[in-house]
Structure 1
């Protein structure tokens, strides 16, 4: 399906404006975050010194302000309830950053935010040939998992940037080709800009963290953009783009469940966390994740270009193999790999 494509110059300007607004907002907010939202290191942390968290306020605020304004100006605004659901889940994250919310009410509030996006979409937007109610319920469960896995994976300096920038840039490029609706294209481009504006403050050693107030709504916005891509028939591309996060978080969850561990509790057993314990530097980990995501973005683009089920499956298998290779590298001590010539 070909959709009217946005203007590349104005889209790029919107992304740059979002980056600037985000950076200025972080500078303005940092003294308050330093005072009221300090993340102190513990046994499960990757950081060593108390660091302010909550820069997600600037990332999400800039994305909704510039992205929403651009979309309105072009007459193609995102669904109104997206602008309700995103602040709602950000507020849940903000409260949880300051004073942890019990698991059940936290999940229910997150499910409410995801449900506002999923259940209010037009009925003709479908992925599977199954009853609509069942598909939307599956999307609710998947969306709830997605926002949480983005949160779980935000445990290392620049990790969310290394994951989300390639995804959002790829989505914006797909939108410029007329294969993604303008609202999703604009949100992807401006979220990419916001994360680039956040990156200088989060590079190792980070001066500020996103916090749950950032990671949860980033997961919601990314999930919505990917869902819009899947609704347009590009399911393989929508799975390929976040494949590293899906694999790392899901395999870690299953491993913890099989071991009888409290999988809902904070921990340091994700593959990227094990990598730092195995001798990788933070820069090496996020660098490999970033390069992997560039590969996945290329494969997702190829799956759209070839537009055939067989080609899509082959490309997806290649993507799975690439992710598996990185996960294997992360799970082994660097000394052990060096002794085998790896």
Structure 2
């Protein structure tokens, strides 16, 4: 009988290999129908195919399905999530090829996130003191924001890899210590492996293909679902610490643009990580610092799970916030 550790390792390797092969096979098609041409808001200089997210999501869902093949109830419970990821990916693909107006796009995203949130079992609740309907509405709004912020933050080569790989692999480690269910662990392992398989095609300076909305939107949905499962186990601080850099950069940028009365729903180059490249940092330096920050946040999240203390959670969240603010301030100023 194959042990759980070996199953996770096989899931990571299978997803990485499957994503790499599928990305390579899709390249000619993407170059023909989904070419991202540079503009004033772009970080790339030459037309580059986009849409490799198709390979990431396909590899992730297939590997997770096979890994859970012997557990029909667990697989059945994931069907609303998988269906929503496919639909939201189709919406992203359509937007990659021909831009969809903001309101229809947002409405379709809300339907996908709502399908996941409102099909959760009634006994799954983070804060028992809240009415269930109120928590589900908050989760819907938070899920919509998380799906979109992953899309917003996918503006540099390797950026989504630098975020997704540390977070997913941290979730796998936490699961091995009992903080996460097996289906969530396997999904995180497959997603992390698929992102590793995508990474060689998206190297800074020589990227052959981009993720596209077809990838960033469902990645946000799947990653958000895994973090939600961690919070449902009672580890709310850990679920906040893992994506804290993404949450801070996107939320502060959104608030700043709203205060300036800018059309915040339009594409822009106002994120801290984008300003960093304008301030003299190379793309590799930016994603490297983001990755190291995420690794530090993963360590703090692990400490939160191990200590199981409200006082410790507050201290660790404050420390994580200080680490993230330090990075944002560095990005906001010109490199010495």
TM tier relative to shorter chain: over 0.9
Residue in 1 that maps onto 2:216: 215
Cα distance in structure 2, aligned partners of 1:83 and 1:287: 31
Q: CA deviation at 1:67?
A: 1.0
Residue in 2 that maps onto 1:130: 130
Q: Secondary structure of the equivalent of 1:265?
A: coil
Residue in 1 that maps onto 2:231: 230
1:82-101 pair list within 5 angstroms: 82-101=81-100
Deviations 1:260-292 (A, max 9, x none): 000000000100000000000000000000000
Residue in 2 that maps onto 1:196: 196
Q: CA deviation at 1:325?
A: 0.2
Deviations 1:129-179 (A, max 9, x none): 211111100100000000000000000000000001000000011111121
Q: How many residues align?
A: 330
1:100-139 pair list within 5 angstroms: 100-128=99-127, 129-139=129-139
Residue 242 (structure 1) aligned with residue 243 (structure 2)? yes
TM-score calculated relative to the size of structure 2: 0.97
Q: CA deviation at 1:79?
A: 2.0
Q: CA deviation at 1:50?
A: 0.3
TM-score calculated relative to the size of structure 1: 0.95
Cα distance in structure 1, aligned partners of 2:71 and 2:161: 28
Residue 171 (structure 1) aligned with residue 168 (structure 2)? no
Runs of 4+ in 1 over 3 A off after TM superposition: none
Residue in 2 that maps onto 1:3: none
Residue in 2 that maps onto 1:299: 300
Unmatched runs of 5 consecutive residues or more in structure 2: none
Cα distance in structure 2, aligned partners of 1:263 and 1:113: 22
Q: Secondary structure of the equivalent of 2:281?
A: coil
Cα distance in structure 1, aligned partners of 2:8 and 2:158: 24
Cα distance in structure 2, aligned partners of 1:227 and 1:92: 23
Cα distance in structure 2, aligned partners of 1:116 and 1:301: 30
RMSD (Å), alpha carbons = 0.8
